[in-house]
Structure 1
Amino acid sequence: MVNRYATFISTINLLIDYIMLNVSMFIAYLIIDRPETWLADNKYLLVILVFNLIWLLSTNITGLYEQVLNKDSILTYRDFLKAYLLFIFLLSFVIIVIGIQSYLVTRLYLLYAVFLFGFFVGAWKVIFLVIRKNNRGMIINDRTIIIVGSGRIAMDIFQYFENHKHSGYRVLGFFDDKAARVAEIGLYLGSVSDVITYTLENSVHEIFCALPTSESKQIEDLMLEADKHLIRFKIVPEYIKSKKLMQVQNYDHIPVISVRPEPLESVLNRSIKRLFDVVFSLFVIVFVISWLFPILAIIIKLQSKGPVFFTQVRSGKDNIPFKCFKFRSMRVNNDADQRQASRTDDRITPIGAFMRKTSLDEFPQFFNVLIGSMSVVGPRPHMVSHTERYSQLIDQFMVRHFLKPGITGWAQISGFRGETKTTEDMLQRVEADVWYLENWSFLLDLKIIFLTFWNVVKGEENAF
């Protein structure tokens, strides 16, 4: 999508955001400190530098200034909120590391500055979106295109441009050797052999080729002719039975399409997640399990015979089995590796019912997290027998094993916790797990942890 002033307007957005940031800091200073000492207060020089650098880092990570003319209003505000929340998180982290009193900057000053910045930039984004909506004709360069082919993917790209009039593209029509496919929408322009002639006579800017791969000779000939006449040529890849966002990687001159995005394939993202797992699990082990374990151990032993811990082999990352630890919540039985717990399960002990309701039985899994066989957040690990069964019934079931299993996950906070009575119940859980795999972010993990805690506090119907 080509926009006349895309780079210029992105730069303007960036500059105004930075002006808002520094104005917010100055107003906060006027409110909290004495105005006459602003220039003499060298302590604020580092504060200004830190604020500006952290906002730069936050916007680069979230891509706030990318495609500012094409993103719809919801996506624009979503990216702003992501950048703003990341800004607050990183700023808080830096303050904790260097100490809030290191440069005599008060908490009240930081609170005023961050609040004012969020308000000013939020208001500016509204103004920008209104200006953009009313002046699209001036800032977006309308380009005429034709589509070669009339199959499903050709109709999909046509429908996209019809639904996104602000994209900067206007479809003139279709070229295909089978006219009947597009005759009904009145946009048939001719056969494939007529493409170049029509393009030159009508000053078409770009050709979108959506021919099937079986027509590779025609595609190559069209591409060579378009290059000769300085016409931009774009190939729409043919992929079957997929409506998902895909990623394209280039291996030299060979484009390779990934069927799903996987943020945790990035070494940086995996390192961030692993670092958080280690720190969080150590915190829980030292400050919670250290005193909780002896209390629960005594009660578990008093109420039923058997070990304090229940250890079960479950399916892990890449479907590699591992030993999953839990506090034992049931009487020792022979069905533990086959039968799921149910609401009226007579195997559950009184303390077991309480632990399962409050998720305390899962706490030993923080040792699994520490040694690396699990993560704090991820798909829940299933019994090996369930993996073998459902992998035959649900197409995407094994996809969830691309990730380490977690103590909690997106499926659990979305209402798919507990017993899976039907294949449809398991399918919904798997779909939630796959969504998490495709949409992972550190902020999403924090959200899931918070909502898990909140669900424990308010109580969950499926927790038994």
Structure 2
Amino acid sequence: MIHRYATFIKAVNLTIDYIILNMSMVISYFIEDRSYIFWINNRKYLPIVLVFNLIWLLSANITGLYEHVLNKDSIKTYRGVIKTYLLFVSFICFTIIILIGTKAYFITREYLFYSLALFGFLLGLWKLIFLTIRKSDRASLIDTRAVIIIGGGRIGADLYGFFKQNPERGYSLVGFFDDNPELVNDKHLYLGGTNDCISYVLNNKVDEIFCTLPNSEAATIERLMLDADKNLIRFKFIPEYYDYAKKPTFIQSFGHIPVISVRPEPLENMLNRFIKRLFDVVFSLFIILFVFSWLFPILAILIKLESRGPVFFVQERSGRDNKPFKCYKFRSMRVNKDSDKKQATRGDSRITKTGAFIRKTSLDELPQFFNVILGNMSVVGPRPHMISHTQQYSQLIDTFMVRHFLKPGITGWAQINGLRGETQTTQAMLERVEADVWYLENWSFLLDMKIVFLTFWNALRGEKNAF
């Protein structure tokens, strides 16, 4: 099956890209360096190697360069390579030239030019070679496997539909076995009862058995499983619970007992939670010390000059586990009685001129970094809603409360995908909730880095839903 090779090919691509990156740096070192110190003994050069390698990993993660390497066509492959390379060059220039400085490690701008140009050329050449090899050998990567399905009910029919819609998985259905022929929709695929299954598999070179029988057929399932093991046949069982789940599930083992979770939650892992909290504290302190400290008096004066009222707007919002907390923002509206129940709308008369600017640039959210330090919020997570909206939408959207498994965030996956601002319909809120739940299920530290970067990028270019 093609997915059996996907991880291997992804690892090969990643490894060769890194070899090319480091080879480009070494070659450029010998071209440009005049110290005659062998590169591996140059302690001032090695940190730059680390910076280059980490930034390439970050850039590739942001663009998804190594995803679906076997399925992307040539144009999409090169488009991804170019996007990743340009992002990589931008990060390198910003990090080394602006933040670190070239003098700190005795590297020159010429060295940066040579290494980046050579890397770009060799990377493009390697991708051309890879696409050529992939084109000629793609057919050999698809290990087509003949399979049968035991059980012709709805689960069996759905599994058959999945095989047909996903031919790249490499499964070729031979037919169904069921003691009730009426349950098999495609009569030409009916091969017999469950007692005939094992002998048919042995005589017709079938590779795998998928069993979709209900739990009420436990004795039959156990017998078939034992017979398959005795005859060296791979046996896979689809649990009846599948009928209630509409998305991928997460399976754990409590000893010999399989436990199916509705969704994976990476942040239930204590190490992941520690990493996220550490980043929250360090990043928030950086913003408070180097941005908030000088921007606060400027914004405070502008807010005070334009309208009466406090500089900060404090409102109770729904936090993790639906516990309310006081959320801080710069006040962007005139003081009004509807602030705890009415969302801001486009052209809202309550918004001041200064408020319109800080909302457009998301500067009104800066005080929430104090919420992060206090532990009420995270830098990245679902946006906190007003208590009244939590009560309203929890009755309208089944999965609405799931987002409260996480700490709310200053920014999030929904926000960088344009799902922000006023929610005029329940459908608009549903899309936001789906994005928040996706983030909960797919969290990673690099995903957080991607969201933070895209938040700054969107703030610079402006967002139509920021008002």
> What is the correspondence of 1:155-194 to structure 2 with a 5 Å cutoff?
155-184=157-186, 186-194=188-196
- The answer to whether the 8 A contact 1:51-1:91 is kept is no
For 1:300 and 1:405, locate their aligned partners in 2 and report how far apart those are by CA, in whole Å: 26
Distance 1:205 1:439, change over 3 A: same
Aligned twin of 1:264: 267
Aligned partner of residue 300 in structure 1, secondary structure: helix
2:355 aligns to what? Answer: 352
Gaps of 5+ in 2: none
2:145: which partner in 1? 143
Question: What does 1:161-310 correspond to in 2, within 5 Å?
Answer: 161-184=163-186, 186-238=188-240, 239-310=242-313
| Contact 1:43-1:104 within 8 A present in 2 as well | no
Residue 384 of structure 1: CA displacement?
A: 0.8
What CA distance in whole angstroms lies between the structure 2 residues aligned with 1:452 and 1:382? 19
Which stretch of the first structure deviates more once superposed, 386-395 or 192-201? 192-201
Q: Is the 8 A contact 1:248 1:258 kept in 2?
A: yes
Shift of 1:211: 1.7
2:384 is equivalent to residue 381 of structure 1: yes
Q: Is contact 2:45–2:105 with CA below 8 Å preserved after alignment?
A: no
Structure 1 residue 2, shift from structure 2 partner = 9.3
Q: Which moved more, 1:254-263 or 1:89-98?
A: 89-98
Matched residue SS, 2:415: helix
Q: CA deviation at 1:169?
A: 3.8
1:32 corresponds in structure 2 to 32
Change (3 A) 1:391 1:123: farther
The normalised TM-score by structure 2 is 0.81
SS in 2 for 1:391: helix
Matched-pair contact (CA < 8 Å) for 1:88–1:114: no
Paired position in structure 2 for 1:335:
338
- Deviation string, structure 1 residues 252-289 (Cα, Å, up to 9, x no partner): 11222222233333333333322222222212211222
How far, CA to CA, are the matches of 2:297 and 2:13 in structure 1?
A: 57
More deviation in 142-151 or 380-389?
142-151
Could you give the per-residue CA deviations for residues 52-78 of structure 1, whole angstroms, max 9, x where no partner exists? 99699989x99x9x9999776679997
Q: CA contact under 8 A between 1:205 and 1:232: conserved in structure 2?
A: yes
Q: 1:50 to 1:292 in 2, by over 3 A?
A: closer
The Cα shift of 1:11 comes to: 8.2
Change (3 A) 1:154 1:420: same
Q: Identify which range, 26-35 or 174-183, moves more after superposition.
A: 26-35
Letter in 2 for 1:305: R
Cα distance between partner residues in 2 of 1:331 and 1:92: 39
Alignment size in residue pairs: 463
Deviates most, 404-413 or 373-382 = 404-413
Is 1:415 matched up with 2:418? yes
**How far apart in 2 are the matches of 1:112 and 1:207?**
56
Aligned letter for 2:451? I
State yes or no: 1:311 paired with 2:314: yes
Per-residue displacement from partner, 1:232-259 (whole Å, max 9, x unpaired)? 2111233124342322222211222222
C-alpha contact (below 8 Å) 2:380/2:409 kept by paired residues? yes
Kept after mapping to 2: 8 A contact 1:206/1:233? yes
SS in 2 for 1:227: helix
Distance 1:157 1:214 in 2: 20
Match of 2:369?
366
CA distance in 2, matches of 1:281, 1:449: 12
Is contact 2:149-2:156 (8 Å) kept?
A: yes
Cα separation, 1, equivalents of 2:38 and 2:401: 61
What's the CA shift for 1:366?
A: 1.1
Q: C-alpha separation between the residues in 1 aligned to 2:114 and 2:324?
A: 51
Moved more, 366-375 or 342-351: 342-351
| Change in CA separation of 1:87 and 1:172 when aligned onto 2, cut-off 3 Å | farther
1:77 and 1:125 in contact (8 A); partners too: no
Change (3 A) 1:216 1:319: same
- Provide the C-alpha distance between the structure 2 equivalents of 1:30 and 1:14, rounded to a whole number of angstroms: 25
TM-align CA RMSD: 4.4
Deviates more, 1:211-220 or 1:117-126: 117-126
1:451 aligns with 2:461: no
Contact 2:39–2:45 (CA under 8 A) maintained in structure 1: no
Q: TM-score, normalised by structure 1?
A: 0.81
Specify whether residues 191 and 99 from structure 1 end up closer, same or farther in structure 2 by C-alpha distance, changes over 3 A only.
farther
Q: Secondary structure at the match of 2:152?
A: coil
Q: Aligned pair in 2 of structure 1 residues 336, 210: CA closer, same or farther (>3 Å)?
A: same
CA drift at 1:225: 1.3
Q: Distance in 2 between matches of 1:293 and 1:424?
A: 37
**SS of equivalent to 1:404:** coil
Going from structure 1 to structure 2, the CA distance change for 1:326 and 1:35 (only over 3 Å counts) comes to: closer
Deviation per CA, 1:191-230: give whole Å up to 9, x if none.
1121111112223222111222232221111101112222
SS in 2 for 1:256: strand
Write out per-residue CA displacement over residues 394-420 of structure 1, whole angstroms, 9 at most, x where no aligned residue.
111111112211112222232222222
1:428-453 Cα deviation digits (max 9, x unpaired): 22122222223333343333333333
- Give aligned-pair identity as a percent: 60
Secondary structure of the residue aligned to 2:172 is strand
Q: Which residue of 1 aligns with 2:122?
A: 120
**Matches of 1:91 and 1:210, distance apart in 2:** 56
Q: Which amino acid aligns with 2:263?
A: R
The CA distance in 1 between the partners of 2:369 and 2:393, in whole Å, is 27
Change beyond 3 A, Cα 1:112–1:269: farther
Q: What is the letter of the counterpart of residue 32 of structure 1?
A: E
